[in-house]
Structure 1
Amino acid sequence: MPEVALVLNPSSRRSAPARAAIETACGAHGMSLLVLPTTVADPGPGQAREALAAGVRRVVVAGGDGTVRHVAGVLGERGPSDGRVTEDHGSAAAPEQAVLGVVPVGTANLFARSVGLPRGDLAAAARLAVAARGRPMDLGRATLTGVHGGVTDQPFLVVVGLGHDADTVAAMSPALKKRLRWMAYLEPGLRRLSRPGRPVTLMIDGQAERSEEVWSVLAVNSARLPMRARVVPGARPDDGQLHIALVAPRNLRDWTEVARVGWGARHTGHPALRYEVGRKLVVRPAEPAAVQVDGDVVPDIVEGTITLEPGALSVAGPPT
């Protein structure tokens, strides 16, 4: 029986050295390794289920945020929290739960940033992924209803965005993304800064519905961005809260306020950026809109129900 399974995204330009680093780390600990490459048709869920069926207790992902979230969604199905609460306000993961290890080789690697994993040192990341103790982490789920009534369930670890945020991700050039990595997000984002807000209807934790006009609605589990910026300052992947950001700038001065808060300035309650917390968000755009889930775009959505499962995962990482 293999002790570690590696779910590997072979399309990543660093997949080969990542695999070699994980094989070395497994060898140093005398662990056997099962390698399961992803495909276009199956970007991670099937490989995660195959790993669990093989009896492994640790599933390592070498890929970006998309591959990690797909595997996490399957691991989270097996280990919801049992109601025990840890000192850092997250629920403890079930003891039989498989540990998720991450060797980040994607574009932005936002989840790895939030957890504090090494991103430029594959050997260090592999050692942690293979041998570090699992820590309870939260898992988000987005149930998205399309314009023709179809429903898709999407796990997420970082952020779900509806509005111009999703349009920015959808407009990004794949070639530019491959060449510039996370900086490829800047050009389509800057082109949309002056776009007006769009009407949406929101309901948080069953409270009364209300209408807002926003540039984007963001449902955040954890979002530590490049250059030390944050979507929601203080949000952690183990705090048991779904952080909701309503981004509604009207002019360049408002965008300056949004940027200040993102880089750590105190939030002054400016209407361009408002924060709320909860466990369940229902959002309905006035017209069908794109939604991005950890960087993967789902088009033509008419309703999204976004929830958080505290402590649903056990993630290998450095001690806090």
Structure 2
Amino acid sequence: MTEITSAALVVNAMSRKGRRLFEQACSAMDALPYPVDAHAVENPEDLEATVRRALAKKPDLLILGGGDGTVSGLVDLMVGHDVILGVLPLGTANSFARTLGIPLDIAGAVEVLRTGAPRRIDLGMIDGDYFANCAAMGLSPKIAETVPHGLKKVFGRAGYLGWAGYQFLRFRPFTLIVGEGENRQRMRVVEVRISNGPYHGGVELIESAEVDSGEIVVQAVCGHVKRRLIRNWVSNAIKHETRHEEVREFRGKAMRVDTIPSLPISIDGEVLAHTPVTARVAAGIIRVMAPIP
């Protein structure tokens, strides 16, 4: 087992809740048998610089505290460094932590840091951008790209859900093209997921995707009417047998993905690209602290 003698903790503590969770995490980490250099970052724009400074001190373990977007946005900086990733799930969906079997409470996640073992895993890639869990095309990135700045802060969850409902009324199915040349496949779809793991939005949607398979999975929810999307999400949430209906999957080390019209792509919740793109897997590129099976 790899011996850990030093660690750094970087927490996205933008909100009041984030600061409180940071303090709870620091208290829980007092039980770890090695020192933890802890940083609470209240301005998200400072996260990358903070991680770079932490990596410069060459810790054995770098613990990232936040949601899936925080992990995906910072994991690029760890590639090529001899450092183990630790995950402190402080987001809403925490899909990456669910994939790894990491408990979603602070005490449980810290216990994995204390008793777990490094596990070598893949990362997904959209063109040159690494991501930890899942990218998507369809309604969710459209909402994220168009939501008025400050809407959720001013009107809360109700305001955000209202905007989501407004975008759903305007949403239309689109054409997906997977592959190139004579082998490309074209279909009408309501959502596309590019996955390195089974969870998206905290729900197990892509059961065939594994974090250490050496392949990326493109899952298309096929259909000409948008109610198919609602039916697919609901059937997956309740594990109904119909969840596999009207779903097509493609898997491989790299695939060209395009849409008509060109659409935004959310990468673990953040809109960071637009089609067309190449989706690929970076096999076994990073180690993460995970529970021992």
Verify same fold: TM over 0.5: yes
Code of the residue aligned with 1:15 in structure 2: it is G
Deviation at 1:193? 7.4
* One of 135, 142, 153 as aligned partner of 1:167: 142
- For the pair 1:98 / 2:83, whether they are aligned, the reply is yes
- CA deviation digits over 1:244-303, x for unaligned, max 9? 111222347744356435643446874x3211211212122333321100000136x242
CA 1:214–1:189 in structure 2 vs 1: closer, same or farther (change >3 Å)? farther
Code of the residue aligned with 2:221 in structure 1: it is V
Which structure has the highest helix share of the two? 2
Structure 2: distance between partners of 1:128 and 1:41: 29
Give % identity: 22
1:118 is aligned to: 103
TM-score, with normalisation over the residues of structure 2? 0.81
Structure 1: distance between partners of 2:184 and 2:136: 19
Question: Can you give the 5+ residue segments of structure 1 that lack an aligned partner in the other structure?
Answer: 79-96, 144-152
* One of 45, 48, 61 as aligned partner of 1:41: 45
Code of the residue aligned with 1:24 in structure 2: it is S
* One of 51, 59, 62 as aligned partner of 1:59: 62
Contact residue 134 and residue 196 of structure 2 kept, 8 A: yes
CA 1:43–1:25 in structure 2 vs 1: closer, same or farther (change >3 Å)? same
Contact residue 235 and residue 243 of structure 2 kept, 8 A: no
- For the pair 1:304 / 2:280, whether they are aligned, the reply is no
TM-align CA RMSD: 3.3
Give the SS at the match of 1:77. Answer: coil
- CA deviation digits over 1:106-146, x for unaligned, max 9? 12211112222222x21222232355321122211112xxx
Structure 2: distance between partners of 1:315 and 1:157: 11
Contact residue 58 and residue 130 of structure 1 kept, 8 A: no
- For the pair 1:138 / 2:122, whether they are aligned, the reply is yes
Question: Can you give the 5+ residue segments of structure 2 that lack an aligned partner in the other structure?
Answer: none
- For the pair 1:232 / 2:206, whether they are aligned, the reply is yes
1:192 is aligned to: 168
Structure 1: distance between partners of 2:114 and 2:124: 24
Aligned residues: 285
- For the pair 1:313 / 2:286, whether they are aligned, the reply is yes
Listed as ranges, the matches of 1:237-316 within 5 Å are 237-251=211-225, 254-255=228-229, 256=231, 259-261=234-236, 263-266=238-241, 270=245, 272-298=246-272, 301-316=274-289
- CA deviation digits over 1:163-208, x for unaligned, max 9? 3342133355765489549xx679726952784322233217x983
Contact residue 195 and residue 215 of structure 1 kept, 8 A: no
- CA deviation digits over 1:3-40, x for unaligned, max 9? 11111112144333433344334432342222344433
